[in-house]
Structure 1
Amino acid sequence: MRKTFVARLLLSASGVAAVAGLASPALAQAAPAGAESTDIIVTAQRRAERIEDVPASITAITPETLARTGLTRYQDLGELSPGVSISRNGAYTQPAIRGITTQAVGSGNENNVATYIDGFYQTNPLVANADIANVEGVQILKGPQGTLYGRNAMGGAILMTTLTPSDTLTGKAMVGYGNLDEKRMSAYLSGPLGQGVKFSIAGYSRSNHGYIRDVGTKATPSLDDGFWSSPFDSQSLRAKLQFDLSSNLTAILGYNYTFVSDPRGSTWVERSQLPIRGVSIPANATTYFDPTTDTSEIDKSSTNFGSIFKIKQHQGTMTLKLKTGIGTLSSYTSYDSDDLPQKYDFDGTKRDYSTTIARNKERTFQQAIDYNIDAIDHLNLTVGGLYYYDKYTVDSDRVSNFTVLSNTRIVSKSTAASGYVDATFDVSDKLFITAGGRYSWEGKSFYHNNSAAPAATTLTPITKNYSAFTPRFNIRYNLADRTNIYASVSKGFKSGMFNQTSFTSLATIIPADQETVWAYEAGFKTVTDLFRFEASAWYYDYKGLQTTVTTTINVGGSLQPSTLLQNAKSAESYGAEASFAIKPAEGLNLAVGAAYIHARYKDFANASGAGLTADGSLNVTATQDLSGLPMLRAPTWSGNASADYTFAAFGGKMVAASSLYFTTDYIPNNPSTGQSPATTTVKGVANTNLAGRPDDRTQRFIANGYATVNASLAWTDPADHVTVTGWVRNLTNKRYLITWSAQAFGTYSQYSEPRTYGVKLEYKF
């Protein structure tokens, strides 16, 4: 018996990463008539359908998959789906799907992969730093979703659904502990309150001291030498109250609280601490900078203080669903109040040279309506619309050598409205044609005020409007039951944005134009009782890609951090991907997936990048030609695979699972080359000229590919109440770059977390 148990454990633990737990429904929405219990039901087309009946590439992820792989973060979803990468620029989490992503950060800037939770669009990218908790299912929709999801769904959409109130009293709780002093706790309770009234409430908390330690400095004894400089803390509370007002009308009132403190992205880990040529260093610089300190170690920082980068969100929601004689009318109303205090050491050294302090506030209202009409023979029609309003206010100080250089207020507002129609016509029992389109309008305004000399300025509010029509056309042909081929054409849209930094004139606030992408895709899907297989190929034609570079500008003789926003004239991405999942024996699940991506800037001759001087010692902002070069977060090859095995052990059941994710070389967040003018004037300082690299088109920040392995072992008692799980992430302790970039103060980077492991105890009833 013992030998059999060990053999089974070794067999299951030797498998490789997770395509996705493709064995159970992803959502709680009612399944279509005739669906089987093993079907995967998705809502990618704003109605419940089997995943194989949707003419698009979709990854569905279940809570079981998340638990078995030990994944807890939104950023980890990229390990579960071919062609998907989720990284960050600074503290801002930014997804990439098939090479479509963004570098834009700052007030009012949004990702070009849209995220929805329970049908509500998530505006602020910082919310994505929160952990995945109380989740019933996740869908990753690949390719532009401009018709059904509208604004900012350029690369696709990530749909997350949380647990809904239950008809019977249900509860569960979890406690866990891991290395890095990680503590996890969660609790969930749901059930009826009376006739036609149900509730649910869920709480979650995870914290650890992080993995980056400051080098400390003996020159400044008041500092806490060697402090942990990137502690993580995530908390959430999600409450729902459901009223079944009649047999046809349901209302769900929700309150969501999210708190995330995640300073990793603003804790610079310098790969070099170079002197800044042409810039006067204060005479007392040694008070702040100990030249003997070393940050060459990948988990060491050298800052004056621990960074503060937090978000606190309060969200109120109301969802109404009315069943009518011809279909279902759904209404989604929400109001978000976000507060984001920030303070970080921009230069990343013990010099007190550049500190950013910001008090950010965001207020968002959105109202969406969808009407799914299914009473017409051979036609499924969906119509809907969206109204959206967002106001983002930033009050920030730029501090150098304990002197406030500027007090800046930025106010950006976005007002958006759209309407869409989408129809699927059943030409026969084998042929299905879908056509739809959305018209979107978005108005943006920008106000800037700098109240401190020497750059005191007040700028008249600027407004600009954007609009687009985003159609889609799909055709699906069933070769056999649950086997089909499909082809699609679709368009995505993202409105323009204003440059938002310490500018001194209207001429420098040049808004970036809107983005558009045309996507062409063809695919094949088949499902049997034994396995699932799907494959697809695509081509994306991109216009006006919004991209940024982080640099510094000279304001009144002092350097200040700046993010410059611009458009690449054109870009393209093409490739193919496939995934396969099989259940070869009772209790055993295997899955594998891979993606090939060729993503390039086609015409980007005026890129603003971080170049090098001829001797390689200094970063300089330069106009570069990136045409024909690889884009961000688009490795040529990436993939994942998984294995899990469930078997009887110790009177209960044991689940052993393991997963692997791999990627070839990739660019984390800066596509710059070494190119710079033949003669470079550094930071506008007179008489400081250095030779440049006018012909160097080698990209500087290409990170090496890597592979990571996760594993877990869980035992559940015979009554299915208690589960004990041991888990390990990054089993081989592979360290890979998640940030690698440059600015005037040096070249900086940040690596992934080291190996993490822990145990958790769960109880449910």
Structure 2
Amino acid sequence: MLKVRHFRSSSMISICLAMTAGLGAGAANAQSADSADTGARANAGDIIVTAQKREQRLQDVPATIAAFSEESLETRQIKGLNDLTTRVPSLVMGYQFGSNQITLRGISTGLTSGFEDASVAVHVNGVYQARARSLDLAQMDLERIEVLSGPQGTLYGRNATGGVVNYIMRGPSDKMEAEFTGNVGNRNAYGVRGFISGPINDKVGFRITGLWDNSDGDVKNLLAGAPDKNFGGRKVAALRGVLAFDPTETLRIELEGTYAHTRSSYAPTALAPSINPGRAAFLKPQTYRPHKVYSDLDAANDTTQYSATGTITLDVSDNVQLKSISGYQKYKNFMSVDYDASGANAEHIPSSGHSRTYSQEFDLNTEMFDGRLKSIFGMFYFNDRYTQQTNVFSSLFGGTNIDVYQANFSQKATSLAFFTDHTFSVSDRFRLLAGIRFNNDKKKGNLNIRGQCTNVNRDLEFEAWTPRAGVQFDVTDKIMAYATYQKGFKSGGIGSGTCGDTFKPETIEGGEAGLKTTLADNRVHLNIAGFWYDYKNIQVQKTLGTAGGFQVQNAAAARIKGVEASFDAAITDRLRLDGSAMVESAKYTDYTNCSPADFLGACSASDTRPVSDPTRNKDLQGNWLNRAPPYSVSIGLEYSVDVAGGELLLRGESYWSGKLRFSEFADPILTQKAYNIQNAYATFTPANENYILRAFIKNIGNTNYRTSGFFDGFTFQRETTWGAWRTFGGEVTVRF
């Protein structure tokens, strides 16, 4: 077996070059066929995407985009954000204190209060998702996923310094149809989902989708008689309805409503004993084994979400289209976490929050000068009100289950933006790209921490201009080259962990240059891109190491650079090979901070050592950003064969990730070494396509790998969240 721990960046660059050369040879030898006869699986580059807020063929977009069609989502059993990690070369998913942590090209957020802005924006049918704790709820009726890597400040605004994930949901179908799917799997997994869709008359269509899903977690609770036997499982009930109206040939109105309720549980596991001898003695019983924990708490992470979306599209003329996207979201969450990762009652944290969010976007797409100038003009408004209460219960200080901490925080955030973006064809082959966005953000917060501060108010305002510029050149009819420059901006804010804590906006600027190629009669797509960014005022959640508190501060600067490559090749009409690779460097260039894991009181406010004392504050220049691997590689192979009057599609995948750091201090205990996982899938479709049978197994080798890690300043110990163990199952889909 390949030992990925010995890989080096030079080795990965060699792999990228070898793949490029090999595909060029493969393209020359590929069997020629008309694209209409090759099939959808052979033409992944022909997926139509809306990444630039207008429909384009994937291979024509001057940016790095990973797009997954409906067929690909079903074949690869992509059910959540975690399933995308092995398919997008620079994507890393983490999970901490109920929050999804998305990293793209080394850019992510490490803040977990629930109030933070994301570094990777998530949109569902064009509506921005404000809560990092609710991102999995949108994935029950997917038509397509698009992942845009790198800053997208012009078209997507302040929340897209790392990139964008777009979920495009299915709409009403042109003819009446229904589908029902039942699934079973290990860890008591079972569920059903289905839809009915079609026209009501020649001007109105509908779609109704329902989902029920259940699974147990893979973190085993070793405490006898505990209320929870495992953690990490979830139960989901969801319902979605869509009505589409076409009152005229040029006007379309689509109304969508979604309800989703998720019940899950989360418990971090310990990696090493507490550095505080007294607390280490108290935190008993305890284990440091993967996927094992002692916990006496009835854990919960229950989320209810309602959303409503209204989309109006008006074709003003053949060259002018106006679109309005209105979104409303109501979110409610209750979470109770045993944060001490032991059988003792040392740190039980219940937290409840609720929010109401409204957003409105107008997009005006135009074409002028015989289609040579394609433009978009837009306006975006966002209004979010969020309230949260967090408590800490502990018996560390005597008694039983004493409420030792309570924080109440509420925030109103508004954002107003205006943007425009243009593509001008100087000639049939050469295009100029330019755009700019103006963003104004306002945040008002009120904080009360019992025993520390009362009625602390903060009123902040931030403004930013984020331009884009670039060139695009068709070297041949099948090879496109591009180079772009882009700025990004993430709003500053108000910290909820300490009294009066505020932090500045993040900024990022840099560029990307790449090639997109279509070879061998559209049977091979090979794309490669290089990127480089200067990243400043990075928002970092600093553990104080006093009573479990934290504050948000701005690290000075980092530099990110790397290369990505991806390919999709139909070697024959039945055999397909696809894959991707990434090499990157994501390091701090200017950052000084103290490490609470060094010794007790290392980051205490009462520390009398001078700030310049190297034993108090460490120079972290050259250290890696969190969750930024130096490389990743994925390879997939599909083969279809005719059996039993139908088609059997077999797919195998392998994914390698380089070392992941979960601490800016290069803490070896908070580091995940390089790892490799494999997945396999089988899909049988009869000739009449009345039903489909699927089977899958993920993480075949049962590899232990971590998706997050942190130092808890209350228990003074290092803790982690583990990636999913081996998962297998099957499903049957019946079509009517």
TM range (shorter): 0.7 to 0.9
| 1:754 counterpart SS class | coil
Q: 2:476 aligns with which of 475, 480, 484?
A: 480
Show CA shifts across 1:645-691 (max 9, x none).
Answer: 12210111111111111111111x32234xxxxxxxxxxxxxxxxxx
User: Which amino acid is 2:77 matched to?
Assistant: G
1:297 aligns to 2:289 (yes or no): yes
Match of 1:362 in 2: 355
Match of 2:34 in 1: none
| 2:539 counterpart SS class | strand
User: Which amino acid is 1:386 matched to?
Assistant: F
Match of 1:419 in 2: 418
User: Which amino acid is 1:755 matched to?
Assistant: R
The equivalences for 1:605-624 within 5 A come to 605=592, 607-613=593-599, 623-624=617-618
Match of 1:498 in 2: 494
1:524 aligns to 2:515 (yes or no): yes
Distance 1:620 1:375, change over 3 A: closer
Structure 1 position 65, deviation (Å): 1.9
Q: 2:149 aligns with which of 133, 142, 145?
A: 142
| 2:248 counterpart SS class | coil
| 2:352 counterpart SS class | strand
Show CA shifts across 1:243-294 (max 9, x none).
Answer: 1121111111110122233323xx021123437347799xxx7xxx6x4x34
| 2:596 counterpart SS class | strand
CA contact (8 A) 2:316 2:322 kept: yes
Match of 1:271 in 2: 271
Structure 1 position 737, deviation (Å): 1.2
User: Which amino acid is 1:750 matched to?
Assistant: T
Q: 2:506 aligns with which of 505, 510, 515?
A: 515
| 2:502 counterpart SS class | coil
1: CA distance, partners of 2:706 / 2:305: 29
| 2:525 counterpart SS class | strand
Match of 1:680 in 2: none
Match of 2:10 in 1: none
| 1:480 counterpart SS class | coil
Structure 1 position 406, deviation (Å): 4.0
| 1:80 counterpart SS class | coil
Match of 2:529 in 1: 536
Structure 1 position 302, deviation (Å): 1.6
2: CA distance, partners of 1:61 / 1:462: 42
Structure 1 position 190, deviation (Å): 0.6
1: CA distance, partners of 2:495 / 2:170: 39
Distance 1:39 1:566, change over 3 A: same
Q: 2:635 aligns with which of 641, 649, 660?
A: 641
CA contact (8 A) 1:441 1:466 kept: yes
2: CA distance, partners of 1:627 / 1:262: 39
Match of 1:689 in 2: none
CA contact (8 A) 1:391 1:413 kept: yes
Structure 1 position 213, deviation (Å): 1.6
Match of 1:112 in 2: 119
The equivalences for 1:96-495 within 5 A come to 96-130=103-137, 132-217=139-224, 223-224=226-227, 227-264=229-266, 267-274=267-274, 276-277=276-277, 291=284, 293-325=285-317, 326-377=319-370, 378-401=372-395, 402-450=401-449, 452=450, 455=451, 457-495=453-491
2: CA distance, partners of 1:459 / 1:275: 35
| TM-score, length-scaled by structure 1 | 0.85
Structure 1 position 735, deviation (Å): 1.2
CA contact (8 A) 1:496 1:515 kept: yes
Q: 2:551 aligns with which of 564, 567, 581?
A: 564
Identity %: 25
User: Which amino acid is 2:295 matched to?
Assistant: T
Structure 1 position 563, deviation (Å): 3.0
1: CA distance, partners of 2:230 / 2:598: 32
1: CA distance, partners of 2:589 / 2:720: 28
Distance 1:388 1:423, change over 3 A: same
User: Which amino acid is 2:707 matched to?
Assistant: I
Show CA shifts across 1:109-134 (max 9, x none).
Answer: 12101011111111111112347321
Structure 1 position 328, deviation (Å): 0.8
Structure 1 stretches lacking a partner, 5+ long:
1-15, 20-35, 554-558, 674-697
Distance 1:460 1:480, change over 3 A: same
Structure 1 position 581, deviation (Å): 1.3
Match of 1:651 in 2: 645
User: Which amino acid is 1:416 matched to?
Assistant: S
CA contact (8 A) 2:460 2:493 kept: no
Structure 1 position 608, deviation (Å): 4.5
Match of 2:566 in 1: 579
The equivalences for 1:640-719 within 5 A come to 640-667=634-661, 669-673=662-666, 700-719=669-688
Structure 1 position 525, deviation (Å): 0.9
| 1:180 counterpart SS class | coil
Structure 1 position 722, deviation (Å): 0.9
User: Which amino acid is 1:330 matched to?
Assistant: K
CA contact (8 A) 1:726 1:760 kept: yes
CA contact (8 A) 2:286 2:342 kept: no
1: CA distance, partners of 2:390 / 2:487: 37
Structure 1 position 433, deviation (Å): 0.5
129-138 or 198-207, which deviates more = 129-138
Q: How many residues align?
A: 674
User: Which amino acid is 1:519 matched to?
Assistant: G
1: CA distance, partners of 2:209 / 2:373: 39
Match of 2:582 in 1: 595
Match of 1:76 in 2: 83
Match of 2:708 in 1: 739
1: CA distance, partners of 2:357 / 2:342: 37
| 1:67 counterpart SS class | helix
Structure 1 position 84, deviation (Å): 1.7
Structure 2 stretches lacking a partner, 5+ long:
1-18, 24-42, 396-400, 605-615
| 1:70 counterpart SS class | coil
CA contact (8 A) 1:671 1:699 kept: no
CA contact (8 A) 1:85 1:633 kept: yes
Show CA shifts across 1:699-723 (max 9, x none).
Answer: 5522111111111111112210111
- TM-align CA RMSD: 2.2
